[in-house]
Amino acid sequence: MFSEEVFVFPASFAQQRLWFLDRAIPDNAIYNVPTAIHLAGSLNLAALERTFNEIVRRHETLRTTFIVEDGQPLQAILPSATIPVHLVALQHLGAKERDVRAKSIINNELKHAFDLASGALLRVTILVLSDTEHILLINMHHIICDDWSLGVLIGELGTLYAAFDQNLPSPLSELPLQYADFAQWQREWLQGVVLDTQLAYWREQLNGISTLHLPTDKPRSAIQNYRGAARFLELPKQLTDCLEQLSQQAGATLFMTLLAAFKTLLYRYTDREDITIGSPIANRNRSEIEGIIGFFVNSLVLRSDLAGNPTFRELLDRVRAVTVGAYTHQDLPFEKLVSELHPERSLSHHPLFQVVFGFQNSPMCALELPGLVPSLINIEFKTTRFDLELHLWKCDEDFRSLDGDNWEDNQGLRGVIVYNTDLFEPATIDRMQNHFQTLLSGIVANPDRRIANLPLLSDLELNRVVVAWNHTQVDNPETQCIHRIFETKMRQYPNAIALNFANDRITYRELNARSNQLARYLQKLGVGVEVLVGICIPQSIDTIVGLLAILKVGGAYVPLDPSYPQERLNFMLEDAKVAVLLTQSNSIDRFKDFKNPLVLLDNDWETIGQERADNLQYNVNSDNLAYVIYTSGSTGQPKGVAVAHKAINRLVCNPNYIKLEPGDRVAQAANISFDAATFEIWGALLNGAELVAIGREVTLSPREFALEIRDRQIDILFLTTALFQQIARDVPQAFETVKYLLFGGETVDVRWVNKIIEHGAPQHLIHVYGPTENTTFSTYYDVDLSRSISSLPIGRPITNTQIYILDPHLQPLPIGVTGEIYLGGDGLARGYLDRPKLTERAFIDRAFDAHLNPRLYKTGDRARYLPDGNVEFLGRNDNLVKIRGFRIELAEIEAVLNQHLAVSQNVVIVAENVPDDRQLVAYIILDRQQKPTPEIHSFRQFLSSKLPLYMVPTAYIFLEYLPLTPNGKVDRAALPTPDLSNYHDRDYVPPRSQVEELLTKIWAKILGKEQIGIHDNFFESGGHSLLATQLMSRIRDNFQVDLPVSNLFEAPTIAQLARYIDIMCWAANVDETETTGLDREEVEFRSI
């Protein structure tokens, strides 16, 4: 039984929710509502204490605590209570120490949690700075008050203090109702038809609502922590007057206009047309409750459709309609709305909305205290329940911060931006505030302008992101053709080694002569300016001779990978209308249907060698085509990217990202059909350097690759991200003798970069980015090798290149805001061969600088500028997915999963085995040092501690290696389907011997299959070159025999491979040799 001194009433819906939150997060100060007032003059402390006790007597909420019955909170109201005014004497301190101490006391009060069960839920403190200077600190829990209540309290404080200071009775009349009456009425009224009508409106309004993801500086944690800070702002009177005038013309309130402007800002920051924010509404629709201190405020969910890029005036009409509808249905408590709608819940953010906009258009009444000059102090916010809050008000009071930073003296709007400090940096909020003011100025200047075109960046910031950070122009021989620059280098370094392929080397003079002979031969076959010549030859000196010869005669080369399927090669030959094809005699059967001249460089050289060896004179310029490289296309057919000579010049002649010099040894590890070969080949030959071939089989073995780098004294090397990470994982010291190591192509796991730094970094470690359509590299980032790194941008534009980060309406975006990368400059391809419509879609005209070519390439890649001018790559547009209303960046999940100690690499995709049921699937390569293999639940638990639950994958598949495309990038399409691990297309034959049984287990683990038959083909079962390398490594470890990868191509089944192993094991036993291939490699490599 309760004491007779306590009156018990139901809690309101709003109180009920805050009580639950308080229980969920004990000892929190999230819902503290503090107010600090500076008082200058003589303070009557007795009158002040009497004033607060009278206010407590008048308002039952200030005498309320909460008890629990059947798991539900109830209001427990004391019939009477007194509130002590705590005095803190600081007048004996010096001015500086006093201010510091006062600020500390205020901050401690902000963090001091209330006990809802024992109370009191109102605390009053007086800081005595001197006889004539005090600070009044009032702190209440939100469960008993709201912003309107503060106005009530301030009003009564002034009235009562003035009376009690003169020993007069209270002039205030008794309140007709108390908050408990409202709570009781609310529960009785909100049911039946009334509840159904309200819910029907909100269900329709919020159907399909999704989370609004602002661009943040830091990743969102799995559990919301409520840490916050604030930035104060002012809008000048002239701007405020113009906004009010616009509102009147549109038949809207100033709140609606400011709300529409704020939604425009969020639209520009997020590229979301469906913008939902929360807005507090006083919810005091009856005059009897206007004077009550209590938790009446309700949160309205204001959802607006910004589709179609409306003018601001059109958007204002939409916002007005939404706001009026919400006002009409404002009586449904937000807590009831959440419980009835059951939105997707997450511990990482607030339900239904994450951003708040509040506007108080009737200012808090001025506090007037006889003999005192009061001024409100801007309290430093330490908590927030949301990602971002913007609160504005009209007020002419003298607000000042404790540090003495006064507001400007104006009659405009004042406000505060409260933000979650675990998501945003202060500088980001400062920029956002400036963008909002720029946007408002643009709105009043032209409200009929479309919202995507309204100004957002200041002139200074706009100049920085589109001009200053793109100032990369340097002089280079862009008017010369590639072969002419090569000929110049040949004259300078005639006897220098140009090509070093296997056991064959030739000088610049020899290479020039041979390519001239072949060029004259091609000339007789009709090859001329921009005639396309195919070249399908394995890596060899003939390959480079062929490329140079084609260019010397004015043609453009079309590199073809001999390992490609015949159907793909035939398509490229036909699509490019190849006039002549250079190949070798062992490929003649593959091209028997090719109707145009076929040149066999190994068989026909006796005839070719009869041609003159002097340089040709041909009317070719740097705007003519140099090559056409085929890349994958969205239609399933590859598309040819046509690149001119000047684009290659810009890549390798006087570049700002690398210093290429005569005598450098440049590795040629990429297939010539991959545009990285453009950098390798021409980076060497146009700078007097030596091009050193590294065979494909060597690149597939990290240890062999490391030995090759050392033994062949490689100075300059480019690797795809996947290959870089594989070598860094297995042989991190492999690059310590290299001058420049460049890597890129996909998102990088910084763990492997740090491993390189720790174990033997090259002189320069360069992270590069760029699509084929802008000639190999577009940006670079020179990694700081003096310390470990936590992130890896793609950096700044290379020489004669521009990078722009634009929104879908081609407007430049601010620092920190995600948009699409557009590239400009001399590296741009001419377009896609014979695909004018595709070229028109991908290459656009958008001028930002009158001195530069306006042509830009639309990459489809997402990125943002960092404050220092570097660009952060955020993935492909098609790597952003939506699951159950949440937008998810798959790269974010991958980055967090990579932090797990057992994870070496991973890829996350979306699978949809059941229609409309999209699930996240993680493919994981385990760290070899982790034994035993962790259970799947450990990965789920790890991710759940760092990510919202909707970002935690459902399925986990373990692989030995991630499948790669021929260009070295992760082939997501080749990842095994989660439910097909036991799929077989032939009869299963079990192992018959111990060797076959062990091989079966190894294959099953590497291929991620539960069952493998001895006649199943490794490559048909999902194997590829990198998995083959891993298989050979496992065989070596388990059988102590060293098989080359080529054996697997000859014996691709377990039955066939087991015979090889049996023979080699027998031979090893005969020789009684204990040294294995692994031992040899380790002994050789220790000297690196």
Beta pairing, strands 298-305 & 274-281? antiparallel
Exposure string over 698-717, b if 16+ CB within 10 A, otherwise e: bbbbbbbbbbbbbeeebbbb
- Give the residue-averaged pLDDT of 1019-1023: 64
Closest alpha carbon to 694 in 684, 682, 706, 683: 706
- Cis peptide preceding 932, ω within 30 of 0: yes
Helices (H), 353-425: none
CATH number assigned to the domain with residue range 994-1085, chosen from the 4 options 3.50.50.60, 2.40.50.140, 1.10.1200.10, 1.10.520.10: 1.10.1200.10
CB within 8 Å of 957: residues ≥ 6 apart = 921, 922, 923, 924, 975, 976, 978, 981, 1008
Using a 10 angstrom Cβ sphere, with 0-12 exposed, 13-18 middle and 19 or more buried, the burial of residue 744 is: buried
Q: What is the pLDDT of residue 361?
A: 58
Structure tokens at 452: 């995507």
Q: Which of 672-681, 698-707, 832-841, 934-943 has the lowest mean pLDDT?
A: 934-943
What is the band of 983 on the pLDDT scale with cuts at 50, 70, 90?
Answer: very low
Q: What is the pLDDT of residue 1007?
A: 82
Dihedral pair phi/psi, residue 1030, rounded to 5°: -65, -40
Is-contact 356 386, C-beta < 8 A? yes
What is the band of 985 on the pLDDT scale with cuts at 50, 70, 90?
Answer: very low
Q: Give the whole-angstrom CA distance, residue 146 versus residue 195.
A: 24
Distance from CA of residue 65 to its chain's centroid?
45
Highest mean pLDDT out of 18-27, 375-384, 653-662, 1072-1081: 653-662
Closest alpha carbon to 538 in 507, 567, 560: 560
Q: Give the whole-angstrom CA distance, residue 684 versus residue 658.
A: 12
Instruction: Using a pLDDT cut of 90, give the percent of the chain over it.
Output: 59
In the CATH hierarchy, which top-level class contains the domain 230-363+381-403+411-456? alpha beta
- Give the residue-averaged pLDDT of 670-687: 94
Closest alpha carbon to 1029 in 1053, 1008, 1046: 1046
- The string of pLDDT tens digits covering residues 898-943 is 889 899 899 998 886 544 456 789 999 998 777 676 777 788 878 8
CB within 8 Å of 255: residues ≥ 6 apart = 323, 359, 361
Q: What is the pLDDT of residue 1?
A: 33
Q: What is the pLDDT of residue 1041?
A: 81
Amino acid identity of residue 191, one-letter, is: Q
- Give the residue-averaged pLDDT of 877-901: 74
Instruction: Using a pLDDT cut of 70, give the percent of the chain over it.
Output: 90
Determine the topology of domain 884-967 in CATH: GMP Synthetase; Chain A, domain 3 (3.30.300)
- The string of pLDDT tens digits covering residues 499-532 is 999 889 999 999 999 999 999 999 999 999 999 9
Angle (nearest 5°) at CA 608 between 603 and 610: 125
Amino acid identity of residue 433, one-letter, is: Q
Q: Give the whole-angstrom CA distance, residue 136 versus residue 667.
A: 73
Question: Looking at the DSSP assignment, which residues form a beta bridge with residue 922?
Answer: 908, 956
181 pLDDT more than 60: yes
Say whether 890 sits in a helix, a strand or coil. Answer: helix
Q: What is the pLDDT of residue 976?
A: 85
Q: Which of 110-114, 241-245, 337-341, 885-889 has the lowest mean pLDDT?
A: 885-889
Domain definitions of the chain by residue range: 7-181, 230-363+381-403+411-456, 884-967, 994-1085
What is the residue-averaged pLDDT of the chain? 87
4 pLDDT more than 60: no
> 7-181 and 230-363+381-403+411-456: same fold?
yes
CB within 8 Å of 994: residues ≥ 6 apart = none
Helices (H), 271-311: none
- The string of pLDDT tens digits covering residues 319-359 is 999 999 999 999 899 888 887 777 766 667 778 899 999 99
Task: Work out the angle between the directed axes of helices 482-492 and 645-652 (0-180°, nearest 10).
Answer: 50
Is-contact 369 166, C-beta < 8 A? no
Distance from CA of residue 296 to its chain's centroid?
39
Q: Give the whole-angstrom CA distance, residue 102 versus residue 89.
A: 10
Is-contact 523 616, C-beta < 8 A? yes
Structure tokens at 196: 């159904």
Q: Which of 29-38, 187-196, 769-778, 1015-1024 has the lowest mean pLDDT?
A: 1015-1024
- The string of pLDDT tens digits covering residues 62-78 is 999 999 887 788 999 99
Structure tokens at 893: 């999940």
Q: Does domain 7-181 have CATH number 3.30.559.10?
A: yes
Q: What is the CA radius of gyration of the chain?
A: 36
pTM of the predicted model, to two decimals? 0.79
Is-contact 442 454, C-beta < 8 A? yes
- Give the residue-averaged pLDDT of 609-624: 93
Q: Give the whole-angstrom CA distance, residue 804 versus residue 812.
A: 7
Q: How many CB atoms lie within 10 A of CB 868?
A: 9
- 863 versus 213: the higher-pLDDT residue is 863
Helices (H), 60-209: 95-111, 147-165, 179-189, 192-205
- Give the residue-averaged pLDDT of 710-734: 91
